[in-house]
Amino acid sequence: TAAVDLSCVWHNLEHMVCKWRPGENASSDTNYTLFYWFDGLKNPKKCSNYSMDQGIFRCLFDFSFPEVTSTYPAISILIRDDSEEIRPVCASKNPTTLVKPATPRSVELSKINDGIYIEWSESDTFPENCLFYEVKYHSGDSDTAQIIEVIFLCYWGTCFSLSSTPHVANLNNTNFPHVDPNSKYIFKVRAKPKPECYSSKLVSDWSEEKSIGEKMDSTFYLVLIVTIPLIVAISTIILLVYLKRLKILILPPIPDPREILKRMFGEQSEDFQVSKKL
């Protein structure tokens, strides 16, 4: 009758979501209740925000420690029912293994010289230098995406990127130099806890995709290849006709003297014959 498959996720160091399934022999009307406690908390706290979907219980509660740090005391979780027929279950969890960062927001893209500059929002709930980021991108001409890790080391207020495009930057931006100016690029970002701060393997969800640049349509190229020779041919014909007329206007043809004499003598011969008949 005890709750089974208990799992919890600590979202952005702000609230925790725990899920579990009812015990195999628990009745359908069993009302499980979740309590939690950690060293430094005077009394156990009860979770009151419950939901159930497809037979899985879910409880959400605000969860944070007085001071943000990389080391936290273990959290004890108790799930039970008021009925004595339901066996309680208790679990102790290391919060640093449950950490899941929030999805990076406000992803902005801009072109600088021949590269692309990308910037995103940074979580303000994590200690400095305890997150790194992954940037996933691909061009509109390729279906194969690439992922680079954007890792920073900070010394005396200055942060240096250890990504594949090293440069001095803040914790929430990077750039991609030497991109194709005629291609469309699509980017998205996610955050991951640094192992030196947290033992969690959880990563944030990918941010909303953002794109920059315009992909040239292959149909456009085909139309261009057909249209340009056609325009050149028509223009050539029009130019030849125009030049021929222009030549006639500037240099009119010179009459043949033989034709002029022939017409003159022919007219005189006709006049002589007419006068002779008269």
Mean pLDDT, residues 233-247 taken together:
74
**Residue 266 DSSP SS3:** helix
Architecture of domain 107-212 in this structure: Sandwich (2.60)
Domains 4-100 and 107-212 share a fold: yes
The pTM is what? 0.68
For the chain, percent of residues with pLDDT exceeding 90: 25
Residue extents of the structural domains in the chain: 4-100, 107-212, 219-253
User: How far, CA to CA in Å, does 17 sit from each of 86, 127, 130, 216?
Assistant: 22, 21, 22, 46
> Backbone phi, then psi, for 152, in 5-degree steps?
-125, 145
Burial class of 215 by CB neighbour count within 10 A (0 to 12, 13 to 18, 19+): middle
Predicted confidence band at 124 (pLDDT cuts at 50, 70, 90)? confident
Find the helix or strand (DSSP H, E) in which 226 lies: helix 218-250
The overall average pLDDT reported for the chain is: 78
Q: Which class does domain 4-100 fall in?
A: mainly beta
- Model confidence pLDDT, tens digit, residues 67-101: 776 678 999 999 988 777 888 899 999 999 999 99
On the question of pLDDT at 268 being above 50, the answer is: yes
